[in-house]
Amino acid sequence: MIAAASAPLGAVPAVRMRGISKSFGGVRALDGVDFDVLPGEVHALLGGNGAGKSTILKVLNGVHIPDTGTVEVAGQRLDALTPDAARRAGVAMNFQEMSLIPTLTVAQNVFLTREARDGRGMIDDEDSIRRAEAIFQMLQVEVNPRALVGDLGAGQKQLTEIAKAISQDARVLILDEPSTALAVSDVERLFVFLRKLAAKGVAIIYVSHRMDEIARIADRATILRDGRHVITAPTADLPIDTMIEHIVGKKSKGLADVARGAARRGVALLEVKDLCGSHKPDHVSFTLHQGEVLGLAGLLGSGRSALARVIAGIEPAVAGEIWIKGKLVHISQPSDAIAQGIALVPEARATQGIITAHSVAENMVMAVLGRITKGGLLDRARAAAITDDMIARLSVKTASRDHAVSTLSGGNQQKVVIGKWLATDPDILILDEPTAGIDIGSKSEIIRLVRDLAAAGKAVLVISSELSELLTACDRILVIADGRAHQMLQRAELDDASETDPDHALQAAERRLQIEIQKALTAKEAIHG
Partner 1 sequence: MAKPLTAPKGALLANWRQNIIYIGFVAIFVVFAITLNDKGFLNPNNLLNIVRQTAMIAVMAIAITFVLAAGEIDLSVGAVAGLATVTVAMAIEAAGPFAGVCAGLATGLAVGIFNGWLTTRIGIPSFLTTLAMMGIAKGLAMWISDTAAVPILSPGYSWLFGGGSVGPIPVLLFWVAALGGVGHIVLRRTGFGRRVLATGGGETAARYSGIDTANIKMKVLVLSSCAAALAGMLYAGRLQSGRFQLGEGDELSVIAAAVLGGTSLFGGKGTVIGTIVGAMMIGLINNGLILFGLEFSQQLIARGGIIILAVALSQKR
Q: Using CB under 8 A, list all residues that contact partner 1.
A: 83-84, 87, 95, 98-105, 108, 112-113, 115, 122-123, 125, 146, 148
**Measured from the CB of residue 229, what is the shortest distance to partner 1 in angstroms?**
27
Residues contacting residue 385 through CB under 8 Å, at least 6 positions apart: none
**Measured from the CB of residue 179, what is the shortest distance to partner 1 in angstroms?**
20
The Cα–Cα gap between 353 and 300 comes to 20
* 3-state SS class at 215: helix
Based on CB atoms, which residue is closest to partner 1, 109 or 208? 109
**Measured from the CB of residue 81, what is the shortest distance to partner 1 in angstroms?**
15
Based on CB atoms, which residue is closest to partner 1, 19 or 102? 102
The Cα–Cα gap between 27 and 517 comes to 30
Read off φ and ψ for residue 306, nearest 5 degrees.
-60, -40
Based on CB atoms, which residue is closest to partner 1, 104 or 523? 104
Partners of 526 in the beta sheet? none
Residues contacting residue 522 through CB under 8 Å, at least 6 positions apart: 212
**Measured from the CB of residue 153, what is the shortest distance to partner 1 in angstroms?**
17
Based on CB atoms, which residue is closest to partner 1, 164 or 304? 164
**Measured from the CB of residue 33, what is the shortest distance to partner 1 in angstroms?**
24
**Cβ atoms within 10 A of the Cβ of 442, count?**
19
DSSP letter, residue 282: -
Based on CB atoms, which residue is closest to partner 1, 122 or 184? 122
The Cα–Cα gap between 79 and 85 comes to 8
**CB 33, CB 228: distance < 8 Å:** yes
Partners of 15 in the beta sheet? 37, 73
Based on CB atoms, which residue is closest to partner 1, 120 or 327? 120
**Measured from the CB of residue 148, what is the shortest distance to partner 1 in angstroms?**
7
3-state secondary structure string across 53-118: HHHHHHHHCCCCCCCEEEEEECCEECCCCCHHHHHHCCEEECCCCCCCCCCCEHHHHHCCCCCCEC
Q: How far is CA 149 from CA 75, 114, 257, in A?
A: 37, 18, 47
Based on CB atoms, which residue is closest to partner 1, 127 or 388? 127
**Measured from the CB of residue 113, what is the shortest distance to partner 1 in angstroms?**
5
**Measured from the CB of residue 108, what is the shortest distance to partner 1 in angstroms?**
7
Based on CB atoms, which residue is closest to partner 1, 98 or 497? 98
Q: Is 151 exposed, middle or buried (0-12, 13-18, 19+ CB in 10 A)?
A: exposed
The Cα–Cα gap between 21 and 65 comes to 10
Based on CB atoms, which residue is closest to partner 1, 124 or 241? 124
Based on CB atoms, which residue is closest to partner 1, 103 or 498? 103
Based on CB atoms, which residue is closest to partner 1, 148 or 314? 148
- Helices 410-422 and 380-393, axial angle in degrees (round to 10): 120
Based on CB atoms, which residue is closest to partner 1, 98 or 199? 98
User: 3-state DSSP: the chain helix, strand, coil percent, rounded to 5?
Assistant: 40, 25, 40
**Measured from the CB of residue 104, what is the shortest distance to partner 1 in angstroms?**
6
Peptide bond into 281 cis (omega under 30): yes
**Measured from the CB of residue 149, what is the shortest distance to partner 1 in angstroms?**
9
Please name which of 33, 40, 32, 18 lies closest in space to residue 171, comparing C-alpha atoms.
40
* 3-state SS class at 258: coil
Read off φ and ψ for residue 174, nearest 5 degrees.
-105, 125
**Measured from the CB of residue 93, what is the shortest distance to partner 1 in angstroms?**
10
Residue 520, Cα to own-chain centre: how many angstroms? 18
Task: Please report, in angstroms and rounded to a whole number, the separation of the first and last CA atoms in the chain.
Answer: 33
**Measured from the CB of residue 159, what is the shortest distance to partner 1 in angstroms?**
16
